[in-house]
Structure 1
Amino acid sequence: MPMILVALLAGSGNQAFGEVLVEGQPDAVHIDARDVPLREVLDALRAKFNFQYRSNDALDTRMTGTFNGPLPRVTARILDGYDFAANIAAQNIDVLILRQHGPNAIAPAVAIAKKSPAPVMTAAQANRYERGLAR
């Protein structure tokens, strides 16, 4: 029994450093975050409201701050620094978090297609072009 108590106390040690409080209604949300990962803030919103999110990102950016306002506005503020898309309906919000942007973000690799040069005109085509007959 004492080993279980020690394990519980040791496991709860990390939670003493950070906490998140979510209160209010969807039209008047209050979030108080103290040194917690973004994922914990989003999970708290999910537990309190009809709020869903998806992401391939770890969402481990640490957050500290107080956020007040309607749920869509608060969501946009806490996701500042991320590219995201949100489907906002009267009773729910569904957010797709794509990636973090900013000076410390890793830019995705983008392939840029090179434009082919225009084909060379034959003498007959150039002649028609100069006479205004080419299309």
Structure 2
Amino acid sequence: MTSSIDASCGDFLIEGEANAVHLEARGVQLRELLDAMQAKFSLRYRTDRALDSAVTGVFDGEVRRVAARLLQDYDYVMEMRPEGLHVLIMQRNSRDIKPASSVPPSTNAAISAAFPLTSDQILGVVLTGRLPKREQ
């Protein structure tokens, strides 16, 4: 019998290709799983967080879907680039946080008019921390 195990360490297993990942984990730190995915697939991530939460489960799918499931408890941004998937992990989210009271529609319109950004520009702000130059 031939094994298709491509990367295995401790209590986790990662196999497959970027378009069909199979990951199994039992109590493994999130950072360890992301490091293994980074070594095996074209995934790059940045964070200043510990990422020490324990992960247990079986995850199947494209690398971006598996990464999204692993990061479900974190605020993050993903960007597909020609060289692969880039992920910026910001902070652990809290399910106990209640949304702030809604902003009146007139205020939303004023904000949108003052800062007309496309979704690509917003992603750029999140990834780089810089606002785009305003066209005159």
Q: Which TM class, normalised by the smaller chain length? A: 0.5 to 0.7
- Residue in structure 1 matched with residue 14 of structure 2 by the alignment: 22
Q: List structure 1 runs of 4+ shifted beyond 2 angstroms.
A: none
Distance 2:16 2:30 in 1: 19
Cα displacement string for residues 1-31 of structure 1 (whole angstroms, at most 9, x for unaligned residues): xxxxxxxxxxxxxxx9x52211101110000
- Which of these residues, 73, 98, 101, is aligned with residue 93 of structure 2? 101
Q: Which amino acid aligns with 2:85?
A: I
Q: Which amino acid aligns with 1:47?
A: A
How does the TM-score come out when normalised to structure 1? 0.61
- Residue in structure 2 matched with residue 73 of structure 1 by the alignment: 65
Per the TM alignment, residue 89 of structure 1 is displaced from its structure 2 partner at its CA by 2.9
Identical counterparts, % of pairs: 43
Per the TM alignment, residue 104 of structure 1 is displaced from its structure 2 partner at its CA by 7.5
Higher Rg of the two aligned structures: 1
Q: Which amino acid aligns with 2:37?
A: L
Per the TM alignment, residue 87 of structure 1 is displaced from its structure 2 partner at its CA by 1.1
SS in 1 for 2:16: strand
Q: Structure 2: which 5+ residue stretches go unaligned?
A: 1-8, 98-136
Q: Structure 1: which 5+ residue stretches go unaligned?
A: 1-15, 106-135
